[in-house]
Amino acid sequence: MEFACFKCGKKVVRMANTPLGRSDECDHCKADLRVCKNCRHYEALAKWECRESISESVRDKERGNFCDFFQVREGSGATPGFKAPTSRDDLMKAAEALFKKK
Of all helices (H) and strands (E), which one includes residue 12?
strand 11-13
Measure Cα distances from 102 to 6, 29, 82, 97, 99 in Å.
Answer: 32, 38, 26, 10, 9
* Span between the terminal Cα atoms of the chain, in Å: 40
> Closest by alpha carbon to 35, among 7, 14, 15, 9?
7
pLDDT in tens, 17-60: 788 888 999 999 999 999 999 999 998 888 899 999 898 889 99
**Amino acid in position 19:** P
Contacting residues for 91 by C-beta, under 8 A, at least 6 apart? 44, 45, 85
Predicted structure pTM score = 0.68
pLDDT in tens, 61-94: 999 998 999 999 875 444 344 455 567 787 788 7
pLDDT value of residue 102 = 58
